[in-house]
Amino acid sequence: MIDELRIRDLGVITEANLPLGPGLSVVTGETGAGKTMVVTAVGLLLGARSDAGAVRSGAKRATAEASLVLPADHAAVLRSREAGAEVDEFDGGAELVLARSVGADGRSKAYIGGRTAPVGVLAEVGGTLVVIHGQSEQIRLKSTNAQREALDKFGGEKVRTSLAAYQECFGQWRLALKELEQLRADARERVREAESLEASLEEIAAIDPHPGEDENLKAEAVKLANVEELRIAADAAHAVLAAEDFTEQADASTLIDSAKRTLEHVSEHDEALGALAARLTELGIMLNDTAGELASYSASLDSEGPERLAELESRRADLAKLVRKYAPSIDEVIEWAERSRVRLYELQDDSARISELEELVQTSAAQLQVLGLELGDRRRTAAMDLSQRVGAELAALAMPDASLEIEVEAASDPGPYGLDEIAFLLRPHAGAPARPLGKGASGGELSRVMLAIEVVLAEVDPVPTFVFDEVDAGVGGRAAVEIGRRLAMLAQHVQVLVVTHLPQVAAFANQHIRVTKNSVRGEDGSAVTGFTSSDVSLLEGPERVKELARMLAGQEDSGSAQAHAQELLDDAKVLLGG
């Protein structure tokens, strides 16, 4: 709810602080005092179009600011945080500040939680907090979506259960239908893709590559291309280690053996030389083993001739063709083939999937019809009840021939919220055609209609704050009392702010705010060179009785008028059970 509303240089209001507590707050004052500027200020905070003409004459800008107290998890708090606003939290609640300024040049700025924000975001946040009733473009239930949501909430658990079952079925039906349409639309493309994958997999299978084969063949080909050089090196190294013929120059094995025997002859005189002789023995064994491996390596080269090299190059060419077409390496070609086999299976299974989806779409559509018709029946029952209850409220608000007609008609196609198209229509008086809300009714009539609707919906579809302007236009007497009583009834569930000129309405208020106009003449004593300003004050006790007396008879100091005013206050308490 709005905890406090602050206005500066808006219309005739120089500066005003309006403390708005819970319940019903009324704003009263003489004609032209600036009462409607309160509504204008709230409208600015809801993102209404700015008007430089609303800036007080001589001021640079007009500002409106509201401090709101909300649950910490309220949608407005969450959206404000998303917009970067600073929100103060306390004991599970939160305080949010909205502000709007309008310059004399027409430029407007919006602020949420102390941070600048687009006016559109301000409107988005404000739309979840406050509803103004007074002009047709401000109707909360103007859109068909809002009307459907209100009717569904009024319908209670039965409608909620039916809607949930319908939406679950609708989701399944839409997913199946979308997949089926996609499969059918892509049928030719999928056939071409399957044929291409099948040919590619046959080509890869014919070559049958193995993991790492390309690198292994490359290494072997390099070896065979340099076989003669490798043989010469192996034979030369073998000759150095262990010569097969006696030559003038001894080989390494012979030299190591000679050194070993020399040390063994004297090892008994020093253990260190014995240890070295043992190490030479190990070294000799290693040299002999290495010489043997070199001889085997050289012999193996004789068995791998040009035929093997040609075979390798042919195989490498086959593998290179796969790498060029499918992936950077043979290992990745094999991975691509595995993925493609899975994809080919999916594509080849299209016909079975299409048949399955066709059956699912058909059964879901049939079930959707059943659930949608049930939901529509429950909505019609709720619509009849809502219309009757609003009609009773309208009769008490001096509109006995007015009626709210709620149409629940079959839609052309199933939608996410049912098979119905819902419309709230108002018949303002007997013989008049039923027209959409906001059309065919005066501002005062429309405000009373919306008051009647909001009173009925208050327990199931509340908005934190309602503002009513012109709600008492053209009425008086008993009807005025009923308007005040119903505003108070609505205020039991939400915060209500009303601009009124009727004392019967003002008597029901929890907070009574008066706007007083002050005219100041210019230095020359002329009204032309002067200016007009308004003060705003919260009335209590005797001051409130005097204001009601002024509204009753224009004589705030009259004893009889004040007695009548006190009687109105007492009667209001009785009517509310106080």
Res 185: pLDDT: 76
* pLDDT mean over 264-293: 83
Which segments within 281-402 are labelled E, that is strand? none
Helix (H, G, I), strand (E, B) or coil at 301: helix
CA gap 213, 217 in Å, rounded: 6
The yes-or-no verdict on residue 60 having pLDDT over 70 is: yes
CA pseudo-torsion sign 539, 542, 543, 544: positive
**Cα Rg of the chain, angstroms:** 47
Res 305: pLDDT: 62
Question: By mean pLDDT, which of 54-63, 370-379, 452-461, 511-520 is the weakest?
Answer: 511-520
Residues whose CB is less than 8 angstroms from the CB of residue 195 and which lie 6 or more positions away in sequence, other chains included? none
Res 527: pLDDT: 43
What pLDDT digit, counting tens, does each position of 97-132 carry? 999 999 998 889 999 998 999 998 998 888 888 888
What pLDDT digit, counting tens, does each position of 194-221 carry? 888 989 999 989 988 888 887 887 776 6
Residue of 440, 443, 494 whose CA lies nearest to 469: 443
Task: Work out the angle between the directed axes of helices 306-326 and 330-348 (0-180°, nearest 10).
Answer: 50
Phi, psi at residue 32, to the nearest 5°?
85, 0
Residues whose CB is less than 8 angstroms from the CB of residue 297 and which lie 6 or more positions away in sequence, other chains included? 234
Domains plus CATH for the chain?
Answer: 1-135+445-454+463-539 (3.40.50.300), 213-328 (no CATH)
Q: Could you tell me the end-to-end alpha-carbon distance of the chain, in angstroms, rounded to an integer?
A: 23
Res 425: pLDDT: 92
pLDDT band per the 50, 70, 90 thresholds, residue 172: very high
In the chain, the percentage of residues whose pLDDT exceeds 70 is 89
Res 304: pLDDT: 57
**Cβ–Cβ < 8 Å for 506, 518:** no
Place of tokens 């020399």: 262
CA gap 46, 172 in Å, rounded: 39
* pLDDT mean over 458-485: 81
113: left (phi over 0), alpha (psi -120 to 50) or beta: left
* pLDDT mean over 271-276: 83
CA gap 238, 294 in Å, rounded: 6
Which segments within 287-415 are labelled E, that is strand? 403-415
pLDDT band per the 50, 70, 90 thresholds, residue 148: very high
520: left (phi over 0), alpha (psi -120 to 50) or beta: beta
- Per mean pLDDT, which of 222-226, 252-256, 280-284, 508-512 is the most reliable? 508-512
What pLDDT digit, counting tens, does each position of 523-560 carry? 555 444 444 566 788 899 999 999 999 988 888 888 89
The yes-or-no verdict on residue 472 having pLDDT over 80 is: no
Q: Mean pLDDT in the chain?
A: 84
Res 136: pLDDT: 53
What pLDDT digit, counting tens, does each position of 307-349 carry? 777 777 788 888 888 888 998 888 998 999 999 998 888 777 6
